[in-house]
């Protein structure tokens, strides 16, 4: 009976060792996706601003718009955090 227990312990150790590189690979993929996502967003924003001849040096944003943007960013941050937590829980 002790041989079976030793086999199970060995299998568990092998699974843990195998999962570590996979976790690192998942983190690398996640980081790569984040970089690509940021580049796409930057490109879309830049082209949209150029299309509408927006000059960021002289642009003034009123308080109402600032508050709306702040709420939008906070909402997006919560959504991203929620998605990350769900993804981590599913892995």
Return per-residue pLDDT of the chain as tens, 91 residues: 445 555 555 555 554 555 567 777 777 877 888 888 899 999 999 999 999 998 888 778 889 999 999 999 999 999 998 888 888 888 7
Q: Is residue 69 part of a domain?
A: yes
- Predicted TM-score (pTM) of the model is 0.44
Inter-residue contact 1 to 8 (CB < 8 Å): no
Which residues does 26 contact at the CB level (< 8 Å), separation at least 6?
A: 91
Give the domain range for residue 68.
60-91
Whole-number Å distance between alpha carbons of 30 and 91: 13
Q: Is residue 15 part of a domain?
A: no
Whole-number Å distance between alpha carbons of 33 and 81: 15
Q: Is residue 66 part of a domain?
A: yes
Q: Is residue 85 part of a domain?
A: yes
Q: Is residue 77 part of a domain?
A: yes
Q: Is residue 91 part of a domain?
A: yes
Alpha carbon 16 to chain centroid distance? 24
Domain count of the fold of the chain:
1
């Amino acid at each position: 009976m002790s041989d079976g227990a030793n086999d199970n312990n060995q299998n568990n150790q092998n699974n843990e060792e195998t999962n570590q590189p996979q976790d690192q690979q998942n983190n690398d993929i996640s980081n790569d996706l984040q970089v690509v996502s940021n580049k796409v967003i930057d490109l879309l924003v830049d082209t949209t601003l150029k299309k509408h001849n927006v000059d960021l040096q002289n642009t003034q944003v009123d308080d109402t718009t600032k508050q709306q943007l702040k709420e939008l960013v906070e909402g997006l941050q919560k959504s991203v955090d929620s998605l990350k937590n769900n993804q981590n829980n599913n892995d």
